Amino acid sequence: MRLGGDALTSVEQAAIDRVIANGVIVAAAGLIQAAAALAGGPVAHRSWDDPGALGQRRGPRPTPGPSANAGGLGIPGWGATLCSMTRVFRVPLGAGEVAFALPEGMRGTSVTARPAEPLPDLDAAVRDALARPVAGPRLHELAAGARSACVVVTDVTRACPEDRLLPPLLAELAAGGIADGAVTILVAAGLHRPMTAAEKSAGFGEAVVARYRVVDHDAFEPAGLVDLGAVAHGVPAVVNRIAVEADLLVATGIVEPHQFAGLSGGRKTVALGVADEATIGATHGVAMIDHPGTRLASLDGNPSTRRRPRSPSEPASASSSTSSPTKMAGR
C-alpha cells in the first residue's frame, strides 16, 4: 500500500504499511468519533500492539499539525481533544516517530491528552501509594502468611514505569515474609512476542531481573494455562497457571480508556494480559465491540466484567480443586 507524500523514504513507507496492516491508525472521512474510540487513548500514550519491535515504552510525543474544530470527547475524567489534521501525520515508532500522509480524499484524526504536570517525585509517590492504599490493607499485610506471589507486569508495548514500581512493591512482599525465590514476575504479553533480555533489563531494572524469576506469558502453551470457566456471554476465562496458583496475585499497569474493556490496567492486566488465545480473541472481536455495554472509559455493563456460573454439565478445571485460593492486590 502506498500513501501519498513524496517526502517519505522507503523505510518510513515500510513502517507505515506495517502500522496500517496491524490496524493501528487510519480513519475514513467523517468517522471522527469512531477514530477516537479505536485509538483507545491519547496518541502520545498509544499502546502499539505490533508483535514485532513497533512498541516501545518511551518515545517523543507526536507533533500534531494545525487543528480546527477542536472539541471534547465527552468522556468523564478524560481530558482529551479531537483535532482535525492537515495532510501530514506524525506517530510514535520505536524510540522516534514517523511522518506520513493519507491518500487524497481521506481525512485522519489524532487524539491527544490535555497537558498535565508530572509528579515532582515519582519514587516518593509510589512509596506513599503503597503505604496508603485506596482500599484494603497494605501489601505487606496481604503477603503475611503467603508462601508465593505472582506480580503481573506490562510488556514493552505499554508505557508503564515498571522499573520504578517494582523495587518498592517487591520490598513490601519481602516485608510480608515472602522470599525472593517464591516471587515470580509474570510479563502480561497477551498475544505479543516475548520480551528480549535487553527489554526486560531496561523495562524492569537490571537488579530486579537478576534477583527475581521473570517469565513471559505464553498464550499458546496449554500446560501453562488453567480453565476458570467463563464470564457472561460465554467468553472463556483461561489464564496463566502461575497467576492462578500463586498465594498472592499482584498486578501493575496503566489505567487509560480502552475500546473493549472500558478501562485498561487493573483486572485487564491479568484477565487478558495473561490469558489464552481464545479468551483474548473473544474479548477483542466484533461481538464484543457491538455489545451495548462496551463503551470507552466505562465499566458498567461491560460484558467482560460479569462472571457466568459454571453449568453442572461443564467439567471443572483439573487444577481448580487443588489450587489454593489466590488473594489479589492491585493499585
Q: Please state the φ and ψ torsions of residue 33, each to the nearest 5 degrees.
A: -65, -35
Query: How far lies 114's CA from each of 45, 66, 67, 79, 82, in Å?
Result: 12, 16, 14, 6, 11
Q: Please state the φ and ψ torsions of residue 321, each to the nearest 5 degrees.
A: -85, -15
Q: How many helices (H) and strands (E) does the chain have?
A: 11, 15
Known catalytic membership, residue 192:
yes
Query: How far lies 189's CA from each of 38, 157, 181, 220, 294, in Å?
Result: 20, 9, 22, 11, 23
Nearest to residue 262, comparing CAs of 90, 137, 43, 77? 77
Which one is catalytic: 140, 192, 217, 233?
Answer: 192
Which one is catalytic: 45, 217, 258, 291?
Answer: 258
Query: What's the distance, Cα to Cα, between the start and end of the chain in Å?
Result: 43
Ranges assigned E (strand) in 193-279:
213-216, 225-231, 236-240, 248-251, 257-258, 262-263
Known catalytic membership, residue 45:
no
Catalytic residue annotation: 192, 258
